[in-house]
Structure 1
């Protein structure tokens, strides 16, 4: 199970700026940009949390569509994102060898798909779980598992491995008793300090360790 931002695509700084500008475009002026310390590290939570703290009224889920459109628009102001080294090759390797995999991201669907397309990483919408329907990471990770069971016609999996770059990815895996692999050096020390036993600089290194 692959996270996208920072794991498959080198898109974290660009995407956080896009989130901030998209919130501003929706009339939200007082934005908490300390995204790493949010209760839920997801687009849907970022919108609801900032909307409700600004306007002092209940968030309407229909606003997610506008936010999603704004995110894609803001992303167009940046250069296309690049893959984390080895991402495209690893996904194709798993696909060719019929290894079951899926995508679980805190982003909304259209921005997530755009990032994968810009990096020419194969995907199928049927195995893409996002924060459009689940605000918590645990929610869309469980959704990704169910999507995978249907897509690969499996009643269950012998082992599930979450591959991510953030402490929130690790904590979610721990909460759900799922194995975890850390990707990237930016958060490596923090991941290892919190119990991550398998960390790699990129996906090329991860693949080499596997095979």
Structure 2
């Protein structure tokens, strides 16, 4: 992937949210854990990085089933989503990853296609993006509300972007994320990948990620 060769209007950028656009990983995991406890799930596996799927919907179902040895009741995911938002409101304002708002604004101004694919649930995602004043459209957002696996909601986001931008295909699709799981998902789906942040930078490089940037401001400078 050469930045000078990128035809941006024919490239789709798929953004992760937590740790990529919003500086929210630590506080969000606290909100998830407190929400599980509030819903009566006391024995929680908090080793979230080693989950089979790094998603809210999987975290809830996995911990519910390991606590109660039965299928999760219908509507429980909605309760979990509402409780996460309540817990988030007690923690404080979410801040953007440097350059996030500016990059999304630039993409909108230059008609560059983009979408959002997140392991979080919709309402918490809206709250984080709103707090950071990052523009989004619900028709460009796919979450773990519909797919437990990252591959599932990334593909969903791509399909939603095709509809939103009235495109049958894109010449190139680039996944932008901060986690090793984001890179692995991109590989599984044969997508290009850009790593953001220093938290997992060494691991991403070791796994084979070729393009990693400290923040989105640095990425934007490289891109344009």
What is the correspondence of 1:171-210 to structure 2 with a 5 Å cutoff?
Answer: 171-210=184-223
* Partner in structure 2 of residue 102 of structure 1: 115
Quick one: structure 1 residues 62 and 185, their matched pair in 2 at CA, closer, same or farther if it must change by over 3 Å? same
SS class of match (2:175) = strand
> Which residue among 83, 87, 90 is the counterpart of 1:70?
83
State the distance in 1 between where 2:34 and 2:61 align: 15
State the distance in 2 between where 1:139 and 1:199 align: 24
State the distance in 1 between where 2:208 and 2:42 align: 38
4+ residue runs over 6 A deviation: none
**Which blocks of at least 5 consecutive residues in structure 2 are unaligned?**
1-13
Deviations 1:55-111 (A, max 9, x none): 000123421100000000000011111000000000000011000000000000000
Q: Does 1:143 align with 2:150?
A: no
Q: Does 1:132 align with 2:145?
A: yes
* Partner in structure 1 of residue 4 of structure 2: none
In the superposition, the TM-score normalised over structure 2's length comes to 0.94
Higher relative contact order, chain-length normalized (CA < 8 Å, sep 6+)? 2
> Which residue among 123, 131, 134 is the counterpart of 2:136?
123
* Partner in structure 2 of residue 22 of structure 1: 35
In the superposition, the TM-score normalised over structure 1's length comes to 0.99
Q: Does 1:40 align with 2:71?
A: no
Q: Aligned pair count?
A: 211
